[in-house]
Structure 1
Amino acid sequence: MPKTQPVTDPFEDFGDVADLAQGLADADPAVRRVAVLALAETADPEAVPHLARAATDADPDVRRQAALSLGGFDGTETAAALAGALADPDRSVAAAAAESLTELKDASAGRPLLPLAGHADAFVRAAALRALRGLRLPEALGPAVAALGDAEPAVRAQGVGVIAYLKREETLPSLIAATRDTDSEVRRAAIGGLAFSRHASAVEAIAGALRDPEWSVRETAAEALGRAGNPEAAEVLIAALDDPAWQVRQKALRSLGRLKARRAVPTVLAALSDAMAGLRKEAAAALGEIADPAARAGLEGIANDPDPDVRKTARWALERLAA
């Protein structure tokens, strides 16, 4: 029986980036793809121009691998290469580029992406804005605000994300307007984005979203009110404990705890008898955060709850009251 020949790495004897890059000229696309992987493994910034070239290869698998590999690098040159790949006619290549763009950390890398916010393809517009969001590039504000008028909800949602990450008070009118968008995901993004501000208009818009017809929007609003840190939100959060969606009640309990809202104690105590263990646990946690002695009897009453997480949280809350 003949012996199986061992599989060898065609680049194992190559010494540096320039050597590895020679594989990108091979006639076999499989070899070119391995060359891309080998270049990425070097983690050497000098590999970026070669990976950028591979992102325009005739073979879509090579282009996709190059787009994925560029996610391990940063900088303007990387962003420019990924911006080109984002408009690739092969959707798998474009999707790989979109994912790699989210790995960028250098704010200056966002500049090649700015023109793409106005691209003819909605996928490209949304992906470019998604990448710009985390970079917090001030120049992205204009394209992001313009995106709020886009026909595609996904683009509007990403535009809201860019504005929210910049955390600038002058953008409040744009975010507040987006809380009235026809698409629930856009509304959710806008409501979550308003949590950076304690301005009365922001709090009012978030509180108003507790009446939204979509439970997921109300859930986001209940959480955002806690993150905003305005104690005046306690009353609407107490009312939200009657919401038909348990997810909304859960976030309302959490926010009341975060706000240390003593006026909510009687209502939160009632939630200790909820049929859902998760809500009983959340109520106990909120009472521990509020640390009002008036909650002691209620917490002692669930110290032996059938659910171990509820018991653990109740005992932690009692320790907080004793401190």
Structure 2
Amino acid sequence: MTVLFEDFNDIDDLAAGLNDPTPSGRIMAVIELADSADPAAIPYLAGAISDADAGVRKQAALALTDFDGPDTAAALVVALADSVQEVRDAAAVSLTELKEPAAGDALLPHLGSADEFTLVACLAGIKELRRPEAMEPAIAALEHPSPTVRMQAVGVIGWLQDPAALSALQKAAADVDVQVRRVALTALGFSRTEAAESALIAALSDPHWHPREAAAETLAKSGGAACVSHLRRALDDDYWQVRLKAVRSLGKLGAREAAMQIGPLISLDIPNLRKECAAVLGELAVPETRSFLAAFEHDSDPDVRKNVRWALARIDAAAA
């Protein structure tokens, strides 16, 4: 019988390159093992995590990005303790690519690590795995002195979307660190409760614009009719980024009463904001806003022109 195709990349043969006397040769073997995309390569790559050369160890940690599962996660956790920071960094990046929930088994024991880098990496790695067992250590991590740890902990809690953690997210929404507050406010989007809405409305008055922007955007998911008046006030925010999110949320909430307040914003010298205003005015289709749109039918920005013409067509169709 004629064999038309033959596997010339037997994993054992490729792995033999890991015994090369030169680091460059071993690095090439690691790359070839990764390129094979064969799960049988995982044990060999895991072994390369302990190579004598830091360059080989780093390449092995990067190569494991293309694989998943408990064995991959366990090897990367070993690399987090490497003496060379570049190796640790590579392992941390690869951990964020894990998608198989079972991979979390290797990360859960380290969610209380005293080493900040390891703790951050494991929180970031387990986030998208949505392991319920991560909730308790994540809530505990909200008390950590490092804002980076607290931010990753909020991410874990947000992905789990457990109503029992609502009070923890509310507390994080008032954190002393701006970015922790921003992430917490975004995470509140899963909860359509008065408590979540109240926290988001309060954040529209935050002294920093990043949390205000996050709150304005999240209110479209977590807020109701009661938040419309607060979003309308956000249309006068000093930062256009906050105004843009407020416009978008008012559109998603179908707040036609805000249309005449959104209309003048289309004249601001910020293309992204003009484009969003035009789109939302089209969604709301309030006839009185036609004059605002018509003035920018020939805007210098093609995306603005496209949205303006679409919005005018929507208004005219609604009137007809």
Name the TM-score, length of structure 2 as normaliser: 0.93
Residue 280 in structure 1 maps to residue 274 in structure 2: yes
Residue 155 in structure 1 maps to residue 130 in structure 2: no
Trace 1:112-191 onto structure 2 (pairs within 5 A): 112-191=106-185
Identify unmatched segments of 5+ residues in structure 2.
1-6
Choose the corresponding residue for 2:75, options 74, 81, 88.
81
Aligned length, in residue pairs: 311
Match of 2:289 in 1: 295
Using the TM superposition, name which of 19-28 and 125-134 deviates more. Answer: 19-28
Residue 41 in structure 1 maps to residue 35 in structure 2: yes
Residue 313 in structure 1 maps to residue 302 in structure 2: no
Structure 1 residue 308, shift from structure 2 partner:
3.0
Q: For 1:213, what is the secondary structure of its paired residue?
A: coil
Match of 2:4 in 1: none
Q: For 1:118, what is the secondary structure of its paired residue?
A: coil
1:172 partner letter: L
Measured against aligned partners, the alpha-carbon deviations of 1:40-59 in whole angstroms (never above 9, x if no partner) come to: 11111111001000011111
2:185 partner letter: I
Measured against aligned partners, the alpha-carbon deviations of 1:244-287 in whole angstroms (never above 9, x if no partner) come to: 11111111111111111111112111212323333222211111
C-alpha distance in structure 2 between counterparts of 1:80 and 1:145, whole Å: 24
Structure 1 residue 14, shift from structure 2 partner:
6.5
The 8 Å contact of residues 9 and 36 in structure 2, kept in 1 or not, is answered as no
Q: Supply the RMSD in Å over aligned alpha carbons.
A: 1.5
C-alpha distance in structure 1 between counterparts of 2:314 and 2:78, whole Å: 55
1:173 partner letter: S
Sequence identity percentage = 51
Using the TM superposition, name which of 67-76 and 282-291 deviates more. Answer: 282-291
2:81 partner letter: A
The 8 Å contact of residues 14 and 20 in structure 1, kept in 2 or not, is answered as no
Measured against aligned partners, the alpha-carbon deviations of 1:63-106 in whole angstroms (never above 9, x if no partner) come to: 00000001101110001001111121211001111111111110
The 8 Å contact of residues 18 and 26 in structure 2, kept in 1 or not, is answered as yes
Match of 2:3 in 1: none
Structure 2 vs 1, CA of residues 229 and 209 (structure 1 numbering), >3 Å: closer, same or farther?
A: closer
Match of 1:64 in 2: 58
Name the TM-score, length of structure 1 as normaliser: 0.92
Structure 1 residue 111, shift from structure 2 partner:
1.5
Structure 1 residue 61, shift from structure 2 partner:
0.4
Residue 209 in structure 1 maps to residue 187 in structure 2: no
Match of 1:240 in 2: 234
Structure 1 residue 39, shift from structure 2 partner:
1.0
Measured against aligned partners, the alpha-carbon deviations of 1:1-27 in whole angstroms (never above 9, x if no partner) come to: xxxxxxxxxxxx974111221221222
Structure 1 residue 295, shift from structure 2 partner:
2.3
